[in-house]
Structure 1
Amino acid sequence: MKLALVSDALDPTSGWGRYAGELARELIAAGIDLRLISPRLLARLADLRDYPDHAEIPSFQHGRRHPLRVLQRTLPPLLRALRGVDVIHCMVEPYAPGVALAAGRRPYLVSLVGTYSIPSGRPWMERWLLRWALRRARGLPAISGYTRRRVESDAGVRQTSVVPLAVRAEDFRRTDPPPREPGLVVSVGECKPRKGFDLALEAFARLNSEGIARRYVIVGPASPSSPYVNRLRTRIRELGLDRFVTLTGVVSEDELVDWYYRARVVTMPYRLAGSDFDGFGLVLLEANACGTPVVSARDSGAEEPVVHDENGLLVPPNDVSALTAALRTVLTDPGCWQALAAGGRRRADAMTWRRSAQQLLDVYAQSLGRRLDARV
């Protein structure tokens, strides 16, 4: 049986691109008869861009995102690209309605990656099309148990499973890493309300006044036109923390890894912001690969990579006092820090892309009633 993976740009700097790209690599390595369908020229993973059986479709992120416009742009190339394919796996939800139409009677699956999986809160046509596509799918692998529960509740679907994100821990190991910076608290990601950086800022302010936390660094895009970024900067000034808080903006992969190593703790106090949520929290696993303990929130995608008291601490969402207490523990208790650092390395070593790919093959077998055979 020939499998098609449909994705937007195969770009390791995005959650979608990393998930689709790494699983595609593992399926190819396993000998699965695979066709990639994506905006090929935008792929930043060279081995996949040059993969021989790679068909081109336009990126849904270019041009108007109205669902009918996306369908109009993507359906004709999808119909051509899916010729000779037996099973289709749509890795990014905005393509799901087009895949559902192009599939005809063929089975298809749709990955549930996060916010884009939730029909509610969208314009009525987009909401209807996404719910229709999800309900017709043979299988719905989610990146976390939290994402799975959210989509089941919102879309009324039950053919779900979990195939988590993973990490190549060896990519984060350094023979001569930068030294740890005492009292350094780091968060990673684009400045958005669902990341909870404002909660981390309030917790840092309390710990800074106690002389425990010395610096807070937010690593990632911070658009000057973002109302959330402007609120953060205003609050930093109000707290008198200009000398202690840094928003780095975009950094290179090497710089990001350096921040993971320099941090005493990485905190991501995720929260539900309207219908927006973080489906997994990959930065927590990346920090663990660098031996850095993490603090995050329950009732979020972080419950997938983080096992409380093993590789990090989990606190109730939107609870600054609980977040402050957890950060205080990690920053002041050497025994706790060492245990979480060691547990983090073990967790990162265990959550591999090969493991996730095997789970995905099991989902295919359960959804299709047979296993996909490797090419001979």
Structure 2
Amino acid sequence: MPLRVAMVSLHTSPGADPGAGDVGGMNVVIRHLAGELAALGCEIDILTRRTDPAAPTVVELAAGVRLRHLDAGPAQVRPKSEHEAYIHEFGDAMSTCGGYDLIHAHHWFSGLAALDVARAWGTGMVQSFHSIAAAPESALAEGERPESPGRMVGEARLAREANALLAVSSAERRTIVDRLGAAPDRVTVVRPGVDVTQFHPAGERESGAGYLLAAARLEPLKGIDLAIEAVAGLDPQVAPELVICGGATSGFEDYPDQLHQLVAARGLSGRVRFLGPCSRDELAALMRGARIFLNPSHSETYGLTALEAAASGVPVVAAESGGLVEAVRHGETGLLLHTRDPDAWTGALQALLTDPARVARLARGGRAHAEQHTWAQMAQRTLAVYQQLIGA
């Protein structure tokens, strides 16, 4: 009998393209992980909240992978911060599904909805956080939303009560153990992969061709303003165009306007291009055409786009935060900066733009690094955790 797994993604659908609303790296991970687990013989149902009254109840995403829309809250897209109010209703909807050998919850909303359901079914529950609330003493970035009221308590409860916890980086594992209080032997690091066929280097191109690229949902946490400030300081003789791929996060619909105003204030009109949300194929094509990829995020649990850039043979300049120190190997696949001083970022970019030999070395190192991280490997390690839990 195949292993039947309910993957829970309450607040965002893995059937949607990343880059806008609350659709980001977590969605990419769930979609690829589910597909690879199905290839290993599992049957995967992804349970998500209905946001469109016309959406079918069940959608087959791939062989062995189904997306199930559950009714909880209004059937419309709502800001992520509102989803705490839908946890109990979503759990009630989950309880009518049944027939699963295991639940794998993604994000704390999903975990709290699934915890009592797993107990009622007598099944084990695996928790992946994907992001964890900032420490209480951390200052919010300008314009950043405060945490949902129950998040810190909820994450600590999941760390104590979930049967197993998966972390996407050693940095996240430390947070789960040290801050949330999980027993170390219940936390396993399983890093994300990258599709090295979809994300691959471009062929030979003219020296100096290409642009700087940033790809993220547009919200203060992602730090795109720092990318703009860094480009503003570049020597116009060597400064390429900055291309920004991504749309506004739910609840931050006015943030793109703030970025446009910053571009105008820095005299960069015509040198910065906003593309809006991009499909996975469009992002892969953009990566291939870039000279340098920028990830100035204030916090990343891992930094999937940095790995995708590496697979594309594009050096990464990233903030030294969270899991980015594992997604990017400083001096081998890109540069990690421990400061948010725009002048330091400008200097790092200027140094790379004027040193094509170094860029080529970083590009080769990035591709080699990415080839060691596949989605199949992630699925195999995840399945090993499932099997150990069921066996116990």
Common fold: TM-score over 0.5: yes
**Equivalent residue in structure 2 for 1:186, among 209, 213, 230:** 213
Q: Secondary structure at the residue paired with 1:207?
A: coil
Alpha-carbon contact 2:7-2:104 (below 8 Å) kept: yes
Where does residue 4 of structure 1 map in the other structure?
5
What is the letter of the counterpart of residue 4 of structure 1? V
Tell me the TM-score normalised to structure 1 length.
Answer: 0.83
Bigger mean CA offset, 36-45 vs 286-295 = 36-45
Residue of structure 2 equivalent to 1:38: 47
Q: What is the one-letter code of the residue matched to 2:199?
A: F
Contact 2:58–2:66 at 8 Å: present in 1 too? Answer: no
Q: Which residue of 2 aligns with 1:303?
A: 325
Residues 313, 335 of structure 1: alpha-carbon distance in 2 compared, 3 angstrom cutoff: same
Residue 47 of structure 2 is aligned to residue 22 of structure 1: no
Contact 1:56 / 1:81 at 8 angstroms: preserved in 2?
no
Which string of whole-angstrom CA distances, capped at 9 and with x for unpartnered residues, describes residues 72-121 of structure 1? 2x2233223233x3332113431111211011143211112125x66965
Q: Distance in 2 between matches of 1:305 and 1:43?
A: 36
Distance in 1 of aligned mates of 2:255 and 2:66: 43
Secondary structure in 1 matching 2:327: coil
> Which 5+ residue runs of structure 2 have no aligned equivalent?
19-23, 137-145
- Any conservation in 2 of the 1:119–1:130 contact (CA below 8 Å)? no
Aligned-pair RMSD on alpha carbons? 3.2
CA distance in 1, matches of 2:379, 2:148: 34
Structure 1: tracts of 5 or more residues without a match: 272-276, 371-376
- Does 2:165 match 1:140? yes
Q: 1:164 corresponds to which residue?
A: 191
Work out whether residues 269 and 296 of structure 1, in 8 Å CA contact, stay in contact via their aligned partners in 2.
yes
Q: Distance in 1 between matches of 2:347 and 2:59?
A: 41
1:203 aligns with 2:235: no
Structure holding more strand per residue: 2
Question: Which structure 2 residues correspond to residues 333-352 of structure 1 after superposition, within 5 A?
Answer: 333-352=355-374
Contact 2:202 2:312 survives alignment (8 Å): no
1:112 to 111, 114, 129: 129
Aligned-residue offset at 1:54: 6.6
Task: Tell me the TM-score normalised to structure 2 length.
Answer: 0.80
Q: Which of the numbers 248, 257, 263 marks the counterpart of 2:275?
A: 248
Q: CA deviation at 1:238?
A: 2.0
Percent of aligned pairs sharing the same letter: 28
Amino acid at match of 2:115: A
Structure 1 residues 118 and 155 mapped into 2: Cα distance closer, same or farther (>3 Å)? Answer: farther
**Cα gap change, 1:325/1:137 in structure 2, threshold over 3 Å: closer, same or farther?**
same
Match of 1:101 among 116, 122, 128: 116
Structure 1 counterpart of 2:140: none
2:104 to 89, 106, 116: 89
Structure (1 or 2) with the greater helix fraction:
1
1:79 partnered with 2:92: no
Question: Is the partner of 2:103 in helix, strand or coil?
Answer: strand
The amino acid of 1:36's aligned partner reads D
Measured against aligned partners, the alpha-carbon deviations of 1:232-264 in whole angstroms (never above 9, x if no partner) come to 222222221112112222234443233212211
Q: CA deviation at 1:175?
A: 7.4
1:326-364: CA deviation from partner (whole Å, max 9, x where unpaired):
222221112211111111111222110011112213333
Is the 8 Å Cα contact of residues 300 and 321 (structure 2) preserved in structure 1? no
2:87 corresponding residue in structure 1:
70
Aligned-partner SS, 2:276: coil
**Cα distance between partner residues in 2 of 1:19 and 1:346:** 21
SS in 2 for 1:318: coil
1:149 to 174, 184, 197: 174
Check the 8 A contact 1:60/1:95 in 2, yes or no: no
Between the aligned partners of 1:180 and 1:256, the Cα distance in structure 2 is 22
Q: How many residues align?
A: 359
- Partner amino acid for 2:244? I
